[in-house]
Chain A
Amino acid sequence: MTVTDRRRTLALLGAALVATPVLLGVAYAAASAIGITGIGATGFSLTRLAHVLGERTVWRSVAWSIWVAGAATLLAVAAAACAAIIFGGRSVIDRTARALAIAPLAVPYVVAGALGLLILGQSGYLARLAYAWGWIASPNNMPALVYDTRGIGVILTLAWKEFPFLALVAFSLIAARGVALEETAHTLGAGRWATLSRVTWPLLWRGLLPAATAVFIFSMGNYEAAALLAPSDPLPLPMLTLERYFALDLSQRADAYVLTLAGLLIGLAAVGVHEWTRQHAELFDQ
């Protein structure tokens, strides 16, 4: 075995080691989902699986979580792209704006959720400002953003939470690429809007695609912000999973494992969509 071969093997082993807990978890969840193992397991059976997949509640949860994560991701991507386009320069204002944009980068989800409640809640700060400006007369007039079936509060909160990360990626994309391509577009006759729509934006969204996929997956799997802001019907997928896991009826624990696998599958599907888009959007690496 050459040195290169040994290093290669070690590297692949290391990677496998990191993934082991996930693989173990998936294997255990899969085994539990089909009744091979776990509390109250009675041997191989597809009844729990079929039961869970036949529940309307479950599908509502899945759809709701995809809607919320998707909307939050799109909102954050749009905001990050705007910030990068508007504040891509080198002046003091540009640099200040960029620093402000990424300042909340490491705010934990639970804090984001708490802020969402304090600001967007029925008697939150937004409602108070609306009252002060005379838009509403009482908290009841405030459109429900929190605990609301459309999930506006969760969407806004997650978008705010994920915006700094996407902005950071967008800023570095623009800084790394420089302005030469835009200059080329200008001298070839493209005005501001043409350059923006034909050069800057297409390159930006392609560059943001991996980060946006990650953000979608994080938002899908997030528990704490959802638990603080989401309605009880439909219940976000992570909450439904945990509810079944901690249910007094131990037979429901198998449901939790099915839902766990469902969550992982949606994540995988997001990665698949990302790969497909990458292939079909001609994401040419230079």
Chain B
Amino acid sequence: MRHDGTSETVPGRPTALRLRDVSADFGDEAGLRDVSFDVANAERFVIVGPSGAGKTTLLRAIAGLIPVTRGTVEIAGHDRTHLVPERRDAVYLHQTPLLFPHLDVFENVAFPLRVRGVAAAEIRSRVASVLDSVQLGAFATRPPHALSGGQRHRVALARAIVARPAVLLLDEPLSSLDPSLRVDVREVILGAAREYRLALVIVTHDLDDAALMGDRIGVLLEGRLKQVATPATLFAHPASLSIARLLAIPNEVRGVIEGERAFSSPLNEMPLISNSQNGSAIMVFRPDAVQIMPESADTAQCTGEIVEIRHRPQQTTVRVRVATRLGTIMIEAAIDAMSVPAIGTIVGLSIDARRVSVFADS
């Protein structure tokens, strides 16, 4: 896997979308700077980034809703950089489903076919089949305002599918939904993508959604695509400190790189996996890279006192205060939710060197 994300095209799997050095300006949000990536047919490509990074700008530039100042946008093998939106073959799905309020569900879904002049009989059968596939067959004559939030999302999705776009652009598709509905809509999107072999570009700031929906994830920071990787690679090996921070990795420990590829910090010393220049550096690791053990264990690299227990739906962690020669450091470590130690317990810590990323401290 190359980090520039340009080598994904597999023979027999033509590219749905290819961006080359795309730059764009837009309003208050950061513009785009030299963004390049490919999305293969039926591939799901997720863009993550903080708000203001240019995520929406990127989607709107692909859709042709804002002009591209430099670079090219190829859709289904054709350069469509300067085409108007309706001739691009890329459907843009707004964050909140924007249904036409004066049309019922059927007519909303039929819209792309009507504007293409498709025959009425064909419209009927195609709309009916798409509505069935999003389980809305019984709602064809409902007006949009009589639908629930999840149903509106499904209508918007059905309307996009019926247009048979080369690439479907989804802008924060789940962010306006409550947790139970998120799961529902996410599954509908993924199911439809599978069924219709859609290429998706999904923008989100939610890392769970990104990991669950993306074949690959691109990280957009300040208008630049900083890393493209599979979810597993990205979360294990963020390419930079700012990406690690975006991924909300809680443990950062300062230290120095000295001599032959070794990093020493107040906690421990360890070999470095990647090459780095000598000098001050920061090591970053996730809570599950830390193992908690009895204070006296031989493998303990340091000891500390548990000061806080954090219960989350997916993971339980403890915050451990470690006293070092250079002051106090807080470490967050994952534990088994079934056997939570008491606050105040003194424990030993061991950090798995293979799951640590070290970045030069700029």
Is A in direct contact with B (CB under 8 Å) within the complex?
yes
| CB–CB B102/A202 < 8 A | yes
| CB–CB A190/B86 < 8 A | yes
Secondary structure at the A interface, as helix, strand, loop or mixed, is helix
Given contacts A183-B85, A203-B102, A206-B102, contact A191 B63 (CB under 8 A): no
**A180 CB–B CB distance under 8 Å:** yes
Among A214-222, A239-247, A278-286, the one that faces the other chain is A278-286
Kindly name the residue among B98, B104, B144 whose own CB sees the greatest number of chain A CB atoms within 10 A. B98
Question: Which residue of chain B has the shortest Cβ distance to A181 in the bound complex?
Answer: B98
Q: Give the CA-CA distance A3 to B191 in the complex, in Å.
A: 52
Q: Give the CA-CA distance A285 to B146 in the complex, in Å.
A: 10
Q: Give the CA-CA distance A181 to B90 in the complex, in Å.
A: 16
Interface string of B90-124 (1 = CB under 8 A from A): 11101000101111100000011011100000000
| CB–CB A186/B101 < 8 A | no
Question: Which residue of chain A has the shortest Cβ distance to B156 in the bound complex?
Answer: A184
Question: B340 → chain A, closest Cβ, in Å?
Answer: 48
Interface size of B by Cβ–Cβ distance < 8 Å? 30
**B84 CB–A CB distance under 8 Å:** yes
Q: Give the CA-CA distance A101 to B155 in the complex, in Å.
A: 39
| CB–CB B102/A189 < 8 A | no
**A198 CB–B CB distance under 8 Å:** yes
**A188 CB–B CB distance under 8 Å:** yes
The count of A-to-B residue pairs whose CB atoms sit within 8 angstroms is: 79
**A194 CB–B CB distance under 8 Å:** yes
**B68 CB–A CB distance under 8 Å:** no
CB neighbours (8 Å) of A250 from chain B are none
| CB–CB A186/B102 < 8 A | no
CB neighbours (8 Å) of B115 from chain A are 185, 188-191, 194, 198
| CB–CB B143/A284 < 8 A | yes
Q: Give the CA-CA distance A185 to B64 in the complex, in Å.
A: 13
Please tell me which one of the listed residues A185, A187, A194, A206 contacts residue B63 in the complex, with CB atoms under 8 A apart. Answer: A187
Question: A184 → chain B, closest Cβ, in Å?
Answer: 5
Please tell me which one of the listed residues B94, B104, B111 contacts residue A198 in the complex, with CB atoms under 8 A apart. Answer: B111
**B145 CB–A CB distance under 8 Å:** yes
Please tell me which one of the listed residues B84, B104, B145, B160 contacts residue A188 in the complex, with CB atoms under 8 A apart. Answer: B160
**A199 CB–B CB distance under 8 Å:** yes
| CB–CB A187/B114 < 8 A | no
| CB–CB B101/A284 < 8 A | yes
Interface string of A155-178 (1 = CB under 8 A from B): 000000000000000000000000
Given contacts A203-B102, A281-B102, contact A187 B65 (CB under 8 A): yes
CB neighbours (8 Å) of A186 from chain B are 64-65, 84-86
CB neighbours (8 Å) of B65 from chain A are 183, 186-187
**B159 CB–A CB distance under 8 Å:** yes
Please tell me which one of the listed residues B94, B101, B112, B144 contacts residue A189 in the complex, with CB atoms under 8 A apart. Answer: B112
| CB–CB B102/A286 < 8 A | no
Kindly name the residue among B65, B102, B169 whose own CB sees the greatest number of chain A CB atoms within 10 A. B102
**B321 CB–A CB distance under 8 Å:** no
**B18 CB–A CB distance under 8 Å:** no
**B44 CB–A CB distance under 8 Å:** no
CB neighbours (8 Å) of A202 from chain B are 102
Q: Give the CA-CA distance A46 to B116 in the complex, in Å.
A: 62
Given contacts A284-B101, A286-B144, contact A185 B84 (CB under 8 A): no
| CB–CB A285/B145 < 8 A | yes
Q: Give the CA-CA distance A114 to B115 in the complex, in Å.
A: 48
Question: A190 → chain B, closest Cβ, in Å?
Answer: 4
| CB–CB A198/B86 < 8 A | no
CB neighbours (8 Å) of A198 from chain B are 100, 111, 114-115
Question: Which residue of chain B has the shortest Cβ distance to A179 in the bound complex?
Answer: B65
| CB–CB A286/B101 < 8 A | yes
Given contacts A284-B143, A284-B144, contact A185 B111 (CB under 8 A): yes
CB within 8 Å of B: which residues of A? 180-181, 183-191, 194, 198-199, 202-203, 206, 281-286
CB within 8 Å of A: which residues of B? 63-65, 84-88, 90-92, 94, 98, 100-104, 111-112, 114-116, 143-145, 159-160, 163, 169
17 extra interchain contacts, Cβ-Cβ under 8 A, other than A185-B100, A203-B101?
A181-B100, A183-B63, A185-B111, A186-B64, A186-B84, A187-B63, A187-B65, A188-B159, A189-B163, A190-B86, A194-B86, A194-B115, A199-B100, A203-B100, A203-B102, A282-B143, A286-B144
A-B contact pairs, 16 of them (CB 8 A): A183-B94, A185-B111, A187-B63, A187-B91, A187-B169, A189-B87, A189-B115, A190-B86, A190-B111, A194-B115, A198-B100, A198-B115, A203-B100, A206-B102, A284-B101, A284-B102
Give the top 4 A-B pairs by smallest Cβ distance, nearest first: A186-B85, A190-B115, A284-B101, A187-B92
